[in-house]
A and B are shown apart, each in its own frame.
Chain A
């Protein structure tokens, strides 16, 4: 079984400040990890993914995440927040890369950016 815990359902930062969204996972096998962003009344957009290659993964919109096996973490960061980053962010884990793998999502973290 696999699970994802996102610490903090709501994170608020000032524009230009560092963004840090936390994600810890549990998986019995080496995981595949993903971060998705959701804007109001829309589907999810992939920010980045970890698939056992480089542990530091760079994604779109200036986001990156680091896979730390010893800490079972995959935290999402961005050096400088922009107003357009305000959205809901979901961390997800899969235990397989096969064609039918399923994603298990965390409960999400709402990011607000203050001017």
Chain B
């Protein structure tokens, strides 16, 4: 089945530093990837839609200058949390859809637990 690899699984960083999270589709091409944020015991909140070769589309209330998204190829999207602060600590999950299948479900990475100290 379709596999999405997300790296790193856990990261701890100091306040003010930047962190990059990678999301790769391993056995399919993904023209569109989605980045979610999940707070403890809550649902997933869509942050942005990453489109290969073009700018990401951010959801209302998400700071695009703080959460930089790059989708340089059909198998890789990255999320960079810039100048991280403790309130950015969360579980970030990426997902991707197989571009070769209509109504393909989203395939999710295993998430990245970000802790900002």
A46-B107, A51-B103, A102-B49 given. 20 additional CB < 8 A pairs? A43-B108, A43-B109, A43-B110, A43-B111, A44-B95, A44-B108, A45-B108, A49-B105, A90-B43, A97-B102, A99-B31, A99-B97, A99-B99, A99-B102, A100-B49, A102-B46, A103-B106, A105-B43, A106-B43, A107-B42
Q: Does A42 have its Cβ within 8 Å of any Cβ on chain B?
A: yes
In the complex, are the beta carbons of B43 and A46 less than 8 A apart?
Answer: no
A3 to chain B, nearest CB (A): 11
- How far is B9's CA from A97's CA once the two chains are assembled, in angstroms? 30
For residue B91, which residues in chain A have a CB less than 8 angstroms away from its CB?
Answer: 41
- How far is B105's CA from A52's CA once the two chains are assembled, in angstroms? 14
Chain A residue nearest in CB terms to B45: A105
- How far is B34's CA from A46's CA once the two chains are assembled, in angstroms? 15
| Given A99-B97, A106-B43: A42 touches B110 (CB 8 Å cut-off) | yes
**How many residues on the B side are at the interface (Cβ–Cβ under 8 A)?**
28
For residue A42, which residues in chain B have a CB less than 8 angstroms away from its CB?
Answer: 110-111
In the complex, are the beta carbons of B32 and A99 less than 8 A apart?
Answer: yes
For residue B81, which residues in chain A have a CB less than 8 angstroms away from its CB?
Answer: none
Tell me the residues in window 37-66 of chain B with beta carbons closer than 8 Å to chain A beta carbons: 41-44, 46, 49, 51
- How far is B32's CA from A102's CA once the two chains are assembled, in angstroms? 10
For residue B95, which residues in chain A have a CB less than 8 angstroms away from its CB?
Answer: 43-44
* Residues in chain A within 8 A of chain B (CB atoms): 32, 34, 36, 41-46, 49, 51, 90, 97, 99-100, 102-103, 105-108, 110
Q: Does B85 have its Cβ within 8 Å of any Cβ on chain A?
A: no
In the complex, are the beta carbons of B4 and A43 less than 8 A apart?
Answer: yes
Chain A residue nearest in CB terms to B6: A43
For residue A36, which residues in chain B have a CB less than 8 angstroms away from its CB?
Answer: 108
In the complex, are the beta carbons of A102 and B34 less than 8 A apart?
Answer: yes
- 7 closest cross-chain pairs (CB), A and B: A43-B108, A97-B103, A44-B108, A43-B110, A107-B43, A105-B43, A46-B105
